[in-house]
Structures are given as C-alpha cells and as structure tokens.
Structure 1
Amino acid sequence: MPRIPLEDNFADVINKTQRGRKISDADLAAKAGITAEELAAVKGGEIRENTLLALAPALQLGRNSLLAMARKEWYPEQPIFPRGFAMFNTPFEDMTVNSYLVWDKKTKLAAAFDTGASADSMLDTVASEGLTLRYVFITHTHDDHIADLDRVAATNAEIWASELEPVERPGAKTFQENAHFHLGELSIKTLFTWGHSPGMTTFYVTGLAWPLAIVGDSIFASSMGGSPTHFEMQLRNNQQKILKLPADTVIAGGHGPLTTLKQEKQHNPFFAR
C-alpha cells in the first residue's frame, strides 16, 4: 500500500480547534498577541513560525508538535502485524477512508470495522485467507464509513453499532459501552469516544501482535476528529479513554496512516505538551 498522507495539516488543526472552541478571529488574535493579517495567513496555510508559536498556547495546542507539523518533519513509524490484521484505504469523493479486518489465526473467524467506500479488497482478503466474517463493527454512521455496508452485510455477518448511533438497516444490532466480543483468542471491547458523532466508538482489540484501537474519527495521526458542537467532549473522551490505553497500542484511525499511542503523545498537537 502506498504511503497514506496525514489526514490534516497544521492549518486544519488550527481551524478545527478554533471552530470547536468557538473563538472568534478577533478574540484569538488578541489572545495570541498577533495581528488579524498574521492569523489569516496561517489559517490559509502559510507557514509563519512565530505566529504558530503564539497561536499554539492560545488554542491549548502543543507548540513544538504544531511547528513540526507545519514543517512536515514527522510521519508515524508504521507498526507491523505479521498476520491477523489488514487495513484498507479507499477513495471517497475528495478524500480517502480506512476500514479494517482482524481475524483469529486458528478459528479463521474475522471481524470487519467499517467498510470504507469499497469493500472489494476486504472481501478479497476474507476469501483468500479462508475466513468466516462473523462481525461487522461500525465506528460511526457517516456515509464514507458505511458506503459499502450492503455488500459486506450480504456475507451474513452480524452488523453491530453503538446504541447511541444505530445503523438503520433490518437485523442490525446495538451494543452498550464496555461490551465484549471474542473471535478465538482475540478480544474486542467497546469504548464510547463520542463527540465527532453521537455514537463514535473505539474498538480495543487484544490478542494480535500489538494491542489495537480502531478509533474511527476520534483520533488521526497528528490530529483528531472535529465537531462544531461537541469538540470538548471529543477531546475529553480521547484523553480519558484512548490515551489511557497501553503506550504500545496501535491507533487505527478512520483516515490517514496508522500510528501508535506513544507517538501521538509525542507528536499530536492536541496531546503533546
């Protein structure tokens, strides 16, 4: 798979945070001690390092990590799963979206997480590995994440989503927080990390080579999912539920490349201090 670019750039992080915290341009410029022209320049993607260093604390973002993001100095080291894990990245309108597949090596039972824009490669993997797709777990119901749900559901796998954001289709089931599912030696636990959407769910998977958190749009490498109405709740859920997982946990976001919790604590402007 070719290298997947980061979902957000530094200007996206600034704009997303400003919208989420409902800070006007005038108030943000005053708080950071910069001019309106300087603010407009960096929000438009111009790299002005002194302006970025002033804006970061005003937005409660990490100064060094935001600056490194602007300089494009960091890309997450990619974790390797010898077997039992596959990532799929498919184009949807002007972006790409991720979906995932995990399976138990002995029983050949598998679970899918979202479908992406197309489930072609996922279903090919199910066939080539001789797997039985037992579950399809939905992180959230935005169109890009469930675009090919009908085809995946045709495998007769059980469709599961949060009780706070159910899938509108016959036979789909809902779970509560801290529900547990098992596939042979694999264990899957649900964590409600809502904010970007009403029922955003993180699935914490153990039993693979690395602990794995499939987080939907809760967190991206170097960023996180935005929300104009529930930004602070998204941030709080990320901090209280995802960032407290083991440091070697692989973070599998709905967009962008894989990363790890340890790397995000060092390089994500929302969490690095």
Structure 2
Amino acid sequence: MKWERIPLGSLQTNAYVLVHPNDTCLIFDPGSEGEKLVSYISSQGWKPLAVLLTHAHFDHIGAVDDVRKRWNVPVYVHKNEKDWLNDAWLNGSLLFMGQEIKVKPADYLLDGEQTLTIGEFSLRVLETPGHSPGSVSYYCEELGAVFSGDVLFAGSIGRTDLPGGNHDQLLQSIHERLLQLPEETVVLPGHGPETTLMNEMETNPFLNGF
C-alpha cells in the first residue's frame, strides 16, 4: 500500500491518494483543480472507491464533485459539517475567496469513532475537533500513517479563529487522539510536508506545556 500527496490550488491544500496494490484507491480532501486531479489519477490507472473529507472548509472540498462526476463514488464527512458542503459562508469560500464554492451533499455522515472498511482498506476514524467542529483524522494502521487534515502540521497546529474553532479543544484532540497513536506514526497534514508524531512531540512549540 502506498500514498501520494498532491498539493492543489492557491492554498496548496494537500489531497492524498491512498493506493492498494490492486490499484483501488481512496481520495482524501480533493480541494481544487479537479481536472488536474482527475487526470492524474486516471493516468495512473487507479480506481477510486470513495472520497474521505477530514473537514469541510472550502480549500478541502472544491474538487469533490469533479471526482464524483468521473467515478460516481460516495463522499464521507462528519455529521457536524454536513451543511457546510453547500453553504459558502460555513465553508469559508465567500469570506476568503469572495466566491461561492459548493458541492453536493455527502453520501455518508460520520458519527462517533469507528472503523471504516471500504474495499480492501481499513481506517480508524478519530474525532479531532478544534480546527472545525467536524474535523476528523483517519488512521491507517497497515500504512502506519494518519491523515490529519488541518489538526496537526509539521511544527504547527490548525488555526482556531474560524467559525466553530476552539483552541483548547484542538489541543485536547491532538493529545487525546493523535498522540495516543504509535509515536512512529507518519502524519499526513492538510498543508505542508509530512512529519511524525515523535518529531512533533519533541519539537512542535504548540504542544509543549499542554
């Protein structure tokens, strides 16, 4: 099993593709540049099974319907952000872009921590609110990696000054959810390079003294 990071759009939001040896794949946070993303996945011969959203801010959802149009796959998002996909104020696109970014409703609403089995993939869904009310992280034990969205970055943490953000809740999510995973776990964040939990525990200034 392997993953690829594909930065998209003006904010260079990381879309990820998790690929099984049988060429089926999962797409995480297809944020924008849908034509580019669809073309790349098609060129690799991969077969998407689903779109998994870590949260529903505009820069993480903009290409969702492009992916759906090409492959007709289901979309997963946490129930706390089910209305954000079609609301340009809630997802921030009007506020930050001055334009509406809307996508069709999700097919599945995540509620509570659980294990998702999609094709050959098995992922633990961790509720990690704080950056936004419905932020989740997806842990793939087989890969030894967690798709953290905008919860934890290399050397930083997610912003909490947007609607529904809560700094204390974010730190609690990181410590009680992410940092309980094996310390060698690779963190695949929504922006910037990958890191590891061990590295963030040792060097991330936002986690010291919590």
Q: Could you give the per-residue CA deviations for residues 171-227 of structure 1, whole angstroms, max 9, x where no partner exists?
A: 52211222222345531111110111110010111223xx11111110111010121
1:88 has 2:6 as partner: yes
Listed one character per residue, the Cα deviations across residues 41-66 of structure 1 (whole Å, up to 9, x for unaligned) are xxxxxxxxxxxxxxxxxxxxxxxxxx
Please name the residue that 1:42 is paired with.
none
Q: Show structure 2 runs of 5+ residues with no match.
A: 87-103
User: Which of structures 1 and 2 has the bigger CA Rg?
Assistant: 1
2:29 aligned residue: 114
Q: Higher relative contact order by CA 8 Å / sep ≥ 6: 1 or 2?
A: 1
Unaligned runs of 5+ residues in structure 1 are 1-82
Counterpart position of 2:201: 265
Q: Work out which of the residue numbers 154, 157, 163 in structure 2 matches 1:224.
A: 157
1:203 matches 2:138: yes
Percent of residue pairs identical: 29
2 CA distance for matches of 1:126 and 1:172? 22
1:14 alignment partner in structure 2: none
Q: 1:178 to 1:188 in 2, by over 3 A?
A: same
Question: How much has 1:117 moved relative to structure 2?
Answer: 2.1
- What is aligned with 1:176? 111
Matched, 1:193 2:108: no
The aligned runs of 1:4-43 (5 Å cut-off) are: none
Flag the structure with higher strand content: 2
The farther-off stretch of 182-191 and 214-223 is: 182-191
Match in the other structure for 2:13: 97
Contact 1:117 1:147 in 2 (8 A): yes
* Code of the aligned partner of 2:150: D
Aligned residue-pair number: 186
- Judge conservation of contact 1:193–1:199 (CA < 8 Å) in 2: yes
Does residue 126 of structure 1 match 2:44?
Answer: no
CA deviation string 1:141-183 (max 9, x = no partner): 1111111111011111110101111244245221122222234
Alpha-carbon RMSD across the aligned residues, in angstroms, is 1.8
SS of residue paired to 1:207: coil
Superposition deviation, residue 120 in structure 1: 4.0
1:145 aligns with 2:60: yes
> Which contiguous aligned blocks of 4+ residues in structure 1 show a shift greater than 4 angstroms?
none
Aligned residues of 1:119 and 1:151 also touching (Cα < 8 A): yes
Residues 80-112 of structure 1: CA deviation (Å, up to 9, x unaligned): xxx5211011232xx321110102113x22111
* CA 1:109–1:125: 2 relative to 1, 3 Å: same
1:111 maps to a residue whose letter is L
Q: How does 1:51-66 map to 2 (within 5 A)?
A: none
Cα distance in 1 for residues equivalent to 2:198 and 2:36: 30
Equivalent position amino acid for 1:118 in 2? E
Task: Output the TM-score relative to the length of structure 2.
Answer: 0.81
For 2:106 and 2:202, the matched residues in 1 are separated by: 42
State which of 159, 166, 170 in structure 2 corresponds to 1:234.
170
CA drift of 1:131 comes to 2.0
Hey, what's the Cα distance between the residues in 2 that align with 1:85 and 1:121?
Answer: 17
Paired with 2:135 and 2:66, the residues of 1 have a C-alpha distance of 22
C-alpha distance in 2 between matches for 1:268 and 1:115: 27
